[in-house]
Structure 1
């Protein structure tokens, strides 16, 4: 049954993220046609991250208590509905409201899927299992922009959002039909969400994991939302070309997730964290210097390589903390809250930097922040482990109550 659960979750996540990735090269262009400034582009992304971030810990904790299937199907249905609503937006304000609603749905998809994989992963194979989920995430996001650019070039922007809706509704049906309604597991006593968060914040190792998760997504707005605007100024640029650039990064990430997940299970995770963050920071700083399609694809491949080093490492850390201390859903909810906080912060800072100093400075500031914050995160993780914070549950400490 567990194999069927994992396969279904992976397929559903891939389909859902394929639908989500389709709109990546199109949404910023749609927003600019509605009069969005650089700050407004950042705010559209920030709205999504805000609602998703605030809801993820609550939904993760509830999924430990009530089961995960209901949350997953609800999130997929909301995403499908958003695909039907976006083409109807006639102002930037409408897009922001729709993205807030979309963020609520997103809080029920990837964190819950990660909680499934977290529970199913045997000790010592955390990186591999989280790599499998990440393959689905990045393959979906990577293939989506290519399809989105193709549909936009041939049938208009509205068709892209309709395809997104159909894909998400298909994934909704897949999970509804194929997943067991309830599979009770791990009935240990669980403390409340706020008490768990308080314990997390008292552990240097856990804070370091969250800080690294926060830092590594600061570049989402410059590298995703600003790229279509940057490439739109190139002679002969098309939506398909923008999709190819974005896809090169995410597909590189996807191809390397499983082997790098195995590497994370065997090698020093702190060293991998530092190496991956340095690659990411250098790539982000150099992106605005690229002036033609081939060079931009090469730089995005390098960025995807750096991410592929980092993501299984951070996922494996989160699995260890969730299994031994906080509960799988609760840990993944707060773990992804840190990601949403990073996207939200990066969106506002990058948008403001672009309006005040220009697009190039937004990339420079973001690249520097990634390297500095990840170095601090590595220090916190290592010092916490040296102090005995190795993720082992103390007697009488908080456990988890989860149901698949």
Structure 2
């Protein structure tokens, strides 16, 4: 039964995020056709991030108390509706409102899916289970833009959004039919959100996990948004090459999630955290120095390797904290809020650095910020564990066992 739940969650998340990824290359085109300015394009993105970020902890906490299936099917249904509504948007304001609505659905999907995996993971296998969910997330988002570009070229913009709706409604039916009506609830965790947040703020280990999650996604905007601008300045550079660079990073990250999840379950997580973030910082620092397509592919593959080391470690940490202290849904909700805050802050940091120092220096500043925050996080996690904050389910391995 538990394996069926996990397989259903993984498939539904993959299909839903494949649908979401499909619209990535075409949504800005639609917005521009409606007269969107640069500020409006940013607002359309921010609207989604705002509603998703604010609601994730609330949904996560309620899922601990009421069960998870209802939230997951609700989020998938909202995503399907969004796919039907976007082609009928008559103005930029309509798109902003639709994206706010989509953020509500997003708050019900990924954090709840991660809470499922966290709940189902046997003690000592948290990294592997969270790695499986990460595979679904990265493969869905990574494959979606390629499919979206092909569909748009063949059948037009509206068809992309209709396919998104179809995929999300299919995931909705998959969960409705295949998921047991009585789904896991954290019976021990019936504490309100604000009580849990106060407890989180008082635990060094938990705050270290959140800081690491926040710091390691600062590079999302510069590594995604600035890359096409840099490569467009090269002679004979193509959009297809840019897509290959991004796809290579995502593919390496996805393929290595489960193996490094196994490593995270057996090795010193703080050491792995520092190694993964060190690789990421080096890659981000070197990106603006690359001047050819092969070298850019290589540095993005290295970046994907660092992410593959890192994500199962942080997911395993979050699963442990959810099991022993806060409830899986509450922990994953706040954990993902830290990610949303990091992406937003990284966008601001990169934008201000670029405007005042230049694009090249923006990467250097971001790389330094990632490493600084990671070291702070590692110190907090290690000191919290030394103080007995970690309620280990098994003897720790040093460095591997």
Q: Tell me the TM-score normalized by structure 2.
A: 0.90
* Distance in 2 of aligned mates of 1:100 and 1:165: 17
Gaps of 5+ in 1: 394-404
**Cα RMSD for the two superposed structures:** 2.4
Residues 297 and 31 (structure 1), Cα distance of their counterparts in 2 relative to 1, 3 Å cut? farther
Does 26-35 or 249-258 show the bigger shift? 26-35
* Distance in 1 of aligned mates of 2:376 and 2:29: 36
* Distance in 2 of aligned mates of 1:21 and 1:129: 23
Compute the displacement of 1:221 (Å). Answer: 1.6
2:348 corresponds to: 348
* Distance in 2 of aligned mates of 1:304 and 1:178: 33
2:192 corresponds to: 192
* Distance in 2 of aligned mates of 1:87 and 1:241: 29
Q: Deviations over 1:48-93 (max 9, x none)?
A: 2221111011100111111111111111122222233344456655
Find the residue that maps to 2:146 and give its secondary structure.
helix
Compute the displacement of 1:347 (Å). Answer: 2.3
2:203 corresponds to: 203
* Distance in 2 of aligned mates of 1:376 and 1:104: 32
In the alignment, structure 1 residue 177 sits paired with structure 2 residue 177: yes
* Distance in 1 of aligned mates of 2:155 and 2:293: 24
In the alignment, structure 1 residue 314 sits paired with structure 2 residue 314: yes
Q: Deviations over 1:205-251 (max 9, x none)?
A: 00000000111111222222343444455566555443322221111
Gaps of 5+ in 2: 394-401
Residues 284 and 206 (structure 1), Cα distance of their counterparts in 2 relative to 1, 3 Å cut? same
Find the residue that maps to 1:187 and give its secondary structure.
coil
Contact 1:50 1:344 in 2 (8 A): no
2:50 corresponds to: 50
Does 229-238 or 266-275 show the bigger shift? 229-238
Compute the displacement of 1:168 (Å). Answer: 1.4
* Distance in 2 of aligned mates of 1:42 and 1:387: 43
Residues 364 and 90 (structure 1), Cα distance of their counterparts in 2 relative to 1, 3 Å cut? farther
2:397 corresponds to: none
Aligned pairs (5 A) from 1:300-339:
300-339=300-339
Question: After TM superposition, where is structure 1 displaced by more than 6 Å over at least 4 residues in a row?
Answer: none
Does 7-16 or 189-198 show the bigger shift? 189-198
Aligned pairs (5 A) from 1:60-71:
60-71=60-71
Contact 1:270 1:382 in 2 (8 A): yes
Contact 1:40 1:351 in 2 (8 A): no
2:396 corresponds to: none
2:113 corresponds to: 113
Q: Tell me the TM-score normalized by structure 1.
A: 0.89
1:282 corresponds to: 282
Higher RCO, 1 or 2 (CA under 8 Å, sep at least 6)?
Answer: 1
2:242 corresponds to: 242
